[in-house]
Amino acid sequence: VNSWWNSLTEGQRTVTGIIAANVFIFCLWRLPGMRRIMFTYFTSDPSSKALCSPMLLSTFSHFSLFHMAANMYVLWSFSSSVVSLLGCEQFIAVYLSAGVISTFVSYVAKMATGKFEPSLGASGAIMTVLAAVCTKMPEAKLAIIFLPMFTFTAGNALKAIIAFDTAGLALGWRFFDHAAHLGGALFGM
Closest CA to 126 of 55, 68, 52, 87: 68
Which one is the CATH code of 2-188: 3.40.50.620, 1.20.1540.10, 3.40.50.300, 1.10.760.10? 1.20.1540.10
Task: Find out whether 139 and 155 touch, Cβ atoms under 8 Å.
Answer: yes
Q: Are 91 and 31 in contact (CB under 8 A)?
A: no
Catalytic: which of 80, 81, 178, 181? 181
Alpha carbon 110 to chain centroid, angstroms: 18
Give the confidence band of 172 by pLDDT, cuts at 50, 70, 90: confident
Of the residues 81, 106, 123, 178, only one is catalytic, namely: 123
67: annotated active-site residue: no
Q: What percent of the chain has pLDDT over 90?
A: 81
Domain boundaries, the chain: 2-188
37-62 per-position pLDDT tens digit: 999 999 998 888 887 899 999 999 99
CB contact at 8 A, 106 and 124? yes
Instruction: State how far the Cα of 67 lies from the Cα of 137, in Å rounded to an integer.
Output: 26
Beta-carbon neighbour count of residue 92 at 10 Å?
16
| CA distances to 89, 111, 139, 168, 186 from 76, in Å | 17, 33, 20, 26, 21
Known catalytic residue at 81: no
Query: Residue 148: its pLDDT value, please?
Result: 82
Whole-number mean pLDDT of the chain? 94
- Whole-model pTM: value is 0.92
pLDDT band per the 50, 70, 90 thresholds, residue 144: confident
